[in-house]
Amino acid sequence: EILPYLETLCRDSAIPILYVSHSLDEICRLADHLVLMDSGRAVAQGPLSDMLIQERHRLGEKDEVSAVIDADLVARDTQWHLMQCAFDGGALWVRDSGDAIGSRLRLRIRAQDVSLSLAQPQDSSIVNILPCQICAIHDDFAEAMQIVELALGQQQLLARLTRRSVHSLALRAGMSVYAQLKSVAIIR
């Protein structure tokens, strides 16, 4: 119940706020800068978006590996109860939360909710299809899976794919692909 208040306080005040949490949801919602602690010692620190993407600092449970995108609310589709959020690498349609046009929003995208295609998909129920470039491919916690790091302009995204899919598509760093994200999977 107090998270919206803390979110407003963080956004509107010019005072740094130190917030301690083990919850990835809270961290993604409130943090701009992250300090990782282990046994009372700071082991890493940096901007939230960078820390989430870095392989050695990935946070959360296996199915919670995520990236965050900071975007501006630019349009609303009242017929379908969606809003469009634009950022340096494109735009995403997400469920309408009632925020005002022009609002700055943080969107959390779990790696498991991102699929990749070599060609731009046609006739799909997925409305968020973004051209991006593969930066790197890393092993995942699970042997059958890999994490693909993607660049969307200045923003980054992760896709959690099976090794079989990575092999079948012959994915490699530097390759151009299309990321597909379901609107209902994007966490606000």
3-state secondary structure 38-53: ECCEEEEEEEHHHHHH
pLDDT of residue 100: 94
Give me the pLDDT at residue 11, please: 76
Sign of CA dihedral 53, 55, 58, 61: positive
Query: What does the alpha-carbon distance between residue 90 and residue 88 come to, in Å, rounded to a whole number?
Result: 6
Mean pLDDT over each residue of the chain, to the nearest integer: 88
Residue 123: the pLDDT is 92
Give the pLDDT confidence score for residue 58 in this predicted structure. Answer: 53
Neighbours of 128 (CB within 10 A): 21
**Which tokens belong to 61?**
């449970």
- Residue 57 predicted with pLDDT over 80: no
Give me the pLDDT at residue 48, please. Answer: 75
**Strand, helix or coil at 96?**
coil
Whether residue 142 has pLDDT greater than 80: yes
**What is this structure's pTM?**
0.82
Instruction: Provide the token pair at 75.
Output: 């349009």
pLDDT at residue 128 is higher than 90: yes
- 7: confidence class by pLDDT, cuts 50, 70, 90: confident
- What pLDDT was estimated at residue 61? 54
